[in-house]
Structure 1
Amino acid sequence: MTSPAAPEPSAPARRGSARPGWAWLGLVPFSAYILLFLALPTVLSVASGLFDKAGHFTLANFAALGDPVILNTFWNSTWVSLLTAAIGAVVGALFCWALMGLSETGGVRTFVDAASGVFAQFGGVMLAFAWIATIGTNAVITVWLKNSVGFDLYADGAWIYALPGLILPYIYFQIPLMVITFTPALKALKPQWAEANLTLGGTAGGFWRYIGLPVLAPSFLASFLLLFANSFSSYATAAALASQGSQIVPLQIRTALTSETVLGRENLAGALAFGMIVVVAVVMWVYSLIQRRAARWQA
């Protein structure tokens, strides 16, 4: 006995399956933006490191990445980024956890969500000026502490204009960024999991130890890596605060391009940019892997 043949697709269905869709046209503006403002500058900056000032091919610029001064600059960028990312991730996660006890549509949650979006993007010269005006060498709080309690913030030197001075401003925009990225992970914790834990005789501590923290760990680590990349690539705030010296990689790139004392090393900036791209690319690749795993629990 033969089985009935499958019905023929209708003519409109056949035409629809053969006709290419036009939805891809919506990606054209975004693709053009990525090409012109991300891909092309990246290729040009990296390619510039392969030539000397006279335009001749050379690997000397990339060999300079092994110079102790350059390696120390990368180390400075790394430890500052790790420290600020760790502080921002922990404080931001605790802040998110505290917000979970409030109504999602309430005034406090709405205000915090809006403020986090603003403060996470508040950087550059504006942020540097705000810190200089607040705790600079002659700022309001600095003078008040010195006159009121006799405490001198800068007894050991003007640290705000050196590498340690970048830590507080970086934390300032890292915490709200963590709030933005980690809140969805906390929202994904289903109340049924806590109820099942209590029904089976578990405790609140046991829930966080065996369920909550393991589920949140991938999202937390992914957010931490995002904060690290954000700090590692930050330039404008550091350039405004640390106008002298090249303590971190972005400032070293600026020095290679604009220095009047070290001439003929403009193409070194391309090699430094390549080093930064490699670091950030590895971090974001690991971030994507972890975020893919975390997404299974956020469905």
Structure 2
Amino acid sequence: MAAVVTRPAEPASDNRGRLSRVLTRGRSLLGVVPFFAFVAVFLAVPTLEVTIGAFTGDDGQPTLSNVGALMNGYIVDAFISSILLSAVTAVLGAVFGALLAYVLVTAKEGGLLRRVVTAASGVLAQFGGVTLAFAFMATIGLPGFVTLFLRDNFGINIYSGGVWLYEMPGLVLVYTYFQIPLMVIVFLPALDGVRPQWREATESLGGSTWQYWRRVAGPLLAPAFLGSTLLLFANAFSAYATAAALVSQGSPIVPLQIRSALTSEVVLGQQNLGKAMALGMVVVVAVVMWLYALLQRRTAKWLG
């Protein structure tokens, strides 16, 4: 007869340890439930609705007409204007923001200047929308106090060439205003990661300041700088409220074209065309953020 081999019973301590690990893992996952719920409600569901709507006709049947309409001249011009606006303000914000961040790094660590500028950048980076548009109109708009002060006291009319504040040049100025502090916030950690020993080693080997920035600090900071610039591009490309409050006539950029398609009382039945334009924006932002993630991964190798 074959012997019956019985498996020894597991100790009760092992069972309690396994149960404790499961409960610990469950509590950890429970902590991120609000985050996943937020992402699902405000990102996943709207993106899914936009995608379905972009390929759905007014009769509820699948169609490619909405996506095909993105090739219309006025929509193409709006995308080009949005990309140019985002690129110009991203570059301006990246350059001036990086210079300001460098000033903070070279200042006294924990000093008043760094604390004040960092706190102000955190506030100003979120200072957008209708409030920001009103601030600029009240300052340098047609009835703005700076405009009136220059005209009444010095005879200078800043609008002699046209009402530029309410057109694309004005959007460039206003967007750059909140791009610079955002650059300070996202680029400052990369500058903090540059160790003083690297410069000392360059100088001890006879290297100049130019060689240090060209061969050591520059290549190390380039991925972080380019990644931050891409983040600024996505931030400007998706901005809506400031442009909607500032531009009173026309729809020069895609967000305003989407507003017209969804709310216009003159041209009806273009809600799904607006969703197709929104899907185009999602694709552009997704590509930009994918490139940003690649650059951030490379930066993390030496920043850590």
TM-score where L is the length of structure 1: 0.93
Match for residue 271 of structure 2? 266
Instruction: Write out aligned runs for 1:140-159 (5 A).
Output: 140-159=145-164
Distance 1:185 1:249 in 2: 33
Counterpart of 1:109?
114
Deviation string for 1:112-152 (max 9, x for gaps)? 11100000000000000000000101211111122222221
State the distance in 1 between where 2:74 and 2:283 align. 19
Instruction: Compare the two structures and name the one with the higher helix fraction.
Output: 2
| C-alpha spacing 1:104/1:12, structure 2 compared with 1 (3 Å) | farther
Gaps of 5+ in 2: 1-9
Amino acid at match of 1:268: L
Q: After TM superposition, where is structure 1 displaced by more than 3 Å over at least 4 residues in a row?
A: 9-19
1:184 equivalenced with 2:177 (yes/no): no
| Counterpart-to-counterpart distance in 1, 2:11 and 2:153 | 86
Q: Are the counterparts in 2 of residues 104 and 110 from structure 1 also a CA contact under 8 Å?
A: no
**What is the 5 A alignment of 1:278-297?**
278-297=283-302
- Cα distance change, pair 285–10 in 1 and its aligned pair in 2 (3 A): farther
- Residue identity in the other structure for 1:117: G
Aligned pairs, how many? 291
Alignment of 1:1-299 (within 5 A): 12=13, 16=17, 19-20=21-22, 21-22=25-26, 23-299=28-304
Match for 1:247: what amino acid?
A: P
How far apart, in 2, do the equivalents of 1:162 and 1:184 lie?
35
What secondary structure does 1:126 align onto?
helix
Superposed CA RMSD in Å reads: 1.6
Separation in structure 2 between the aligned mates of residue 100 and residue 12 of structure 1, nearest angstrom: 53
Structure 1, unmatched stretches of 5+, are 1-8
What is the letter of the counterpart of residue 253 of structure 1? I
Letter in 2 for 1:233: S
In 2: Cα distance, 1:242 partner to 1:103 partner: 42
Q: Normalising to structure 2: TM-score of the pair? A: 0.92
The amino acid that maps onto 1:143 is L
Compared CA separation, residues 13 and 82, structure 1 to 2 (3 A): farther
